[in-house]
Copies of this chain bind each other. A is one copy, B any other.
Amino acid sequence: MGLLDLSRKLIMKASAIRAVQRIDELGAISETDDGLLRQFLSQANLRAAEKILEWMSLLGMHCEHQADGTIRGILSGSNPTAKPLLLGSHIDTVAHAGKYDGALGVIAALAALEDLLESGCTLPFPVHVLGFSDEEGVRFQATYLGSRAVVAGLDESLLSCRDAAGDALRDVLERDGWHDGAAHFRYAPGDVLGYVELHIEQGRVLEEAKLPIGVVSGIAGQSRISITLKGQADHAGTTPMPLRRDAMVGAAACVLAAESLAHAHSPLVATVGQISLSPNVSNSVPESVKFSLDFRHPDDEQRVELLDLLSHQFHQIAQQRDLEIHWQVVQESGAVACDDFLIEKISRAAKKVTGRCLTLASGAGHDGVMMQQIGPIGMIFVRCLKGLSHHPDEYCAPEDIAAGIDVLVEFLNSFHEA
């Protein structure tokens, strides 16, 4: 532990202590007793939103809620007509969730504003703190519904999505309480100074670097591919090796090729996470193997180029082994770059707080993917234990939360000084 970390551990500001308490308080609001779950438009999500609106009111913010459960608190600056700076994150969770993913970004923003107000600093623009009602996409199998609604609205195809109970998003929106009297705020491109989100890292880069804070360069683009190799089923005892067309051995060669490519082209990450064999029996040479490839890179051009290279390698492996290959692109999403000006400002703040500055790409998606449609985005990552998220053991140390709040304060202060 460095000296700065140690001092944060020993002397914690009231705002940081309160933030840690609020994480616990919000983490206790759940649909189920069996682990934390707050889906889009659930009663638990709405209760969490009300709780945060209370906290916003304590800061004297002007509070609003959307029909879809997204909330907003506005702190006027010295110039109420200036373009606002947006802070925030999401307040929904996956099943068996941790209590930091999403919630920390909203709570840390409020803590930073508390510090700012206490120090008598007035910003030359309004700050909007947003708590998005859906980012995880658990209920309707569609992500970023909260941030999507405030930058683009929810179109017919999304409103027709149904949850596991068979209810359409449209009907749930009209039924579940938040519709009447709700604000319908929306941002258009150019409306805002920028959107800055603080979030747990969900990886182990900061832990390895022994740093509480990282500055995000951008959100990686992603390709999801489904690959099938088809050879010939044969008796495992009676078929000599040279006569085999073993789909599993071909798949194994592909898995290693993907790993080698990613190792050689950091920050590329490539993962084969799902695999199924046919027939899946011990005494038969596998006839066909279907497997997934998750392929991410912060630079779209490089991602496409490297994926082409890997596809070529997979086809070569198939050819050498006399296997048929089927390569199907299941999903493709482009990278989103963080704004250079915001990166620079966040980096200075991070260096001031932690003594060092580490910039890293986010391999996971965040609300910034939507928010970049209306203005520049920036992100601050806070170290989390073992990189664990989407898990009850998700943990972020209080001193790291304090560091995150401090970075936000320094970042906001930099506008005051300017």
Contact = CB atoms under 8 A, between A and B. Distances in A.
Contacts of A363: 235-239
Contact of A248 (B201, B275, B387): B275
A272 interface: yes
A272 B285 CA distance: 7
A143 to B, nearest CB: 12
Interface stretch (A64-72, A73-81, A132-140, A258-266): A258-266
A341 B231 CA distance: 40
Contacts of A357: none
A157 interface: no
| Copies of this protein in the complex | 2
Interface in A268-325: 268-277, 279-286, 292, 294, 296
A255 B248 contact: yes
Contact of A249 (B255, B274, B277): B255
Interface string A233-246: 01111111111001
Nearest to A296: B237
Contacts of A283: 271, 273, 294
10 interchain residue pairs of minimum CB distance: A237-B363, A203-B238, A282-B292, A252-B255, A236-B271, A252-B252, A238-B363, A236-B294, A237-B364, A202-B238
Contacts of A281: 273-274
Contacts of A269: 236-237, 239-241
Contacts of A208: 243
A272 B284 CA distance: 8
Given A249-B259, A252-B255, A255-B252, A282 B237 contact: no
A205 interface: yes
Interface residues of A, number: 60
A347 interface: no
Interface string A206-224: 0010000000000010101
Contacts of A39: none
A241 B266 contact: yes
A188 interface: no
Contact of A273 (B255, B266, B280): B280
A273 B284 contact: yes
A296 B241 CA distance: 11
A204 B243 CA distance: 8
A251 interface: yes
A224 B292 contact: no
Nearest to A330: B282
A342 B239 CA distance: 24
A272 B255 contact: no
Interface in A20-74: none
A282 to B, nearest CB: 4
A363 B241 CA distance: 12
A267 interface: yes
Given A252-B255, A294-B283, A236 B273 contact: yes
Nearest to A239: B203
Residue in A208, A243, A266 whose Cβ sees the most chain B Cβ within 10 Å: A243
Nearest to A261: B241
Contact of A277 (B203, B252, B274): B274
Contacts of A201: 238
Contacts of A248: 255, 272-273, 275
27 contacts: A203-B234, A203-B235, A203-B239, A203-B240, A203-B243, A204-B234, A204-B239, A234-B387, A236-B271, A236-B294, A236-B363, A238-B364, A241-B269, A243-B387, A246-B271, A249-B255, A249-B259, A249-B272, A251-B252, A252-B255, A271-B282, A271-B283, A271-B285, A273-B279, A274-B280, A275-B275, A275-B277
